[in-house]
Amino acid sequence: MEHRLISAIEAALGWSGAEELGKDFVRGSMDDPALVSRIMTPNRLLDVAMRRSLNRPQFRCFQKGEEVHPAIYYTDSVSPRGQSISMVNMRSLGRLLGEGATVIMDQANVFDPTMEVACRALQWWSRERVQVNAYLTTNDASGFPLHWDDHDVVIVQLAGEKEWEVRATSRPVPMYRDADPNSTPSDDIIWSGLMRTGDVMHIPRGHWHQATRTGSGSGKSLHVTFGITKRTGASWLAWLADWCREHEIFRHDLDRWHGTGITALTEAAAQLVSERPPADFFDAYEQATTLPRHVPFLDVLGPLDAVVCTTHFPPQLQERGETIDVVASGKKLTLAAKALPALRLLLSGKPVALEQAAAVVGAEVAEVAEILVEEELCAVLTPELFSGYTGLVTNAGS
């Protein structure tokens, strides 16, 4: 899926693909103000918070370096029938932001279609799972203290400016579940300075960093952090541990006293490693992902006139003579080979208007689309979902 944000990130960071992800700290700037404001604005973030029932830790507020108790900016909206729904009290939140505070929306891709589409595009690009958190800071509020993340991040400054400090790792590639707590920051400062509107920064896993507006006076900062969790050697070994249960030798009790069978066990483990290399793990990881949320297609609500592929990773098309297999999200569909042009269009990751598509790949595109929607590899392109693509992803066939 071609996405303007990905192209802009690559250009800003000097990348030509996802191969550089996780390697080195790098920063740059996007020369496209329209794109920056299209991704997210402070008011749109607050509008999302106002219209949804959010709870901690999805939505949090910090002031003077400490988390504000939710009771201060949450309230129960009670219906005439006495039903209670927890909602953000926008008046109270506005007062906090006026004083100077930071609000954080975790997994903004769950609540906002533009963020959803951006994360899906980054997943197709990186072949890893991606989520995005949004951070809005006002006036001279501070941010989180010096810390490191257990995943790679790409940060895009969308409004205002914020002071950053990035340091080297104090433990190479630390993990969330690790043999070392990695609690002592490095003294090696790689970069410090202002992130301004349109700036982009890549901080690899384990690099210490902090951001603040302390001392900046009146103003604001909005940035989004795309968290990209890559697979590790430990992930591969954990996957192998699941596969080993297929073999009887691994299901036997270990002999604590006599040590019998240990040689055979280690030989079987070595064979398992050679039989299921990391490449197989990557393929299995992509197929193990669950199907994403989507609006179901109900013909009583109207005809199916536009769809888009919403799988977490690009579906695989496997040609087998007179048939073709579609493999994605743990499913395998087999269709006639003549459906290949329609499949390539429908599974491109771009919005597809079926009437226009029929003129390009044939009338059977409507039938193929119905199958893909029924199997949940494609979703109905509602106006709300389409808004996440508008101006960022071109329609298929355009």
pLDDT in tens, 35-61: 999 999 999 999 999 999 998 889 999
Same-domain status, 40 and 54: yes
3-state secondary structure 181-218: CCCCCCCCEEEEEEEECCEEEEECCCCCEEEECCCCCC
Residue 135 covered by a domain: yes
- CATH number of the domain bearing residue 306: 3.90.930.40
Same-domain status, 100 and 219: yes
Same-domain status, 131 and 237: no
Residue 292 covered by a domain: no
Could you tell me if 243 and 268 are in contact, meaning their C-beta atoms sit under 8 angstroms apart? no
Q: Which of 206, 229, 252 is the endpoint of a domain?
A: 229
Same-domain status, 203 and 62: yes
Residue 398 covered by a domain: no
Same-domain status, 174 and 280: no
Same-domain status, 87 and 215: yes
Same-domain status, 214 and 336: no
- List helix spans (H) across the chain: 4-13, 33-39, 42-51, 70-73, 90-99, 113-126, 233-243, 248-251, 262-275, 278-288, 340-346, 354-361, 365-374, 383-387
Angle at 82 between CA 76 and CA 84, to 5 degrees: 25
pLDDT under 50 in the chain at which residues?
none
Residue 159 covered by a domain: yes
Residue 380 covered by a domain: yes
Q: How many domains does the chain have?
A: 3
Residue 214 covered by a domain: yes
Asked whether the whole model's pTM tops 0.85, one would answer yes
Work out the angle between the directed axes of helices 113-126 and 4-13 (0-180°, nearest 10).
60
Amino acid 398: pLDDT: 65
Same-domain status, 219 and 156: yes
Could you tell me if 153 and 227 are in contact, meaning their C-beta atoms sit under 8 angstroms apart? yes
Residue 396 covered by a domain: no
Could you tell me if 102 and 61 are in contact, meaning their C-beta atoms sit under 8 angstroms apart? yes
Instruction: Write out the residue range of the structural domain in which residue 316 sits.
Output: 299-389
Residues forming a β-bridge with 63: 66
Same-domain status, 69 and 182: yes
Residue 54 covered by a domain: yes
Same-domain status, 271 and 208: no
Same-domain status, 18 and 128: yes
- CATH number of the domain bearing residue 148: 2.60.120.650
Could you tell me if 86 and 76 are in contact, meaning their C-beta atoms sit under 8 angstroms apart? yes
Amino acid 260: pLDDT: 79
Same-domain status, 318 and 204: no
Amino acid 290: pLDDT: 84
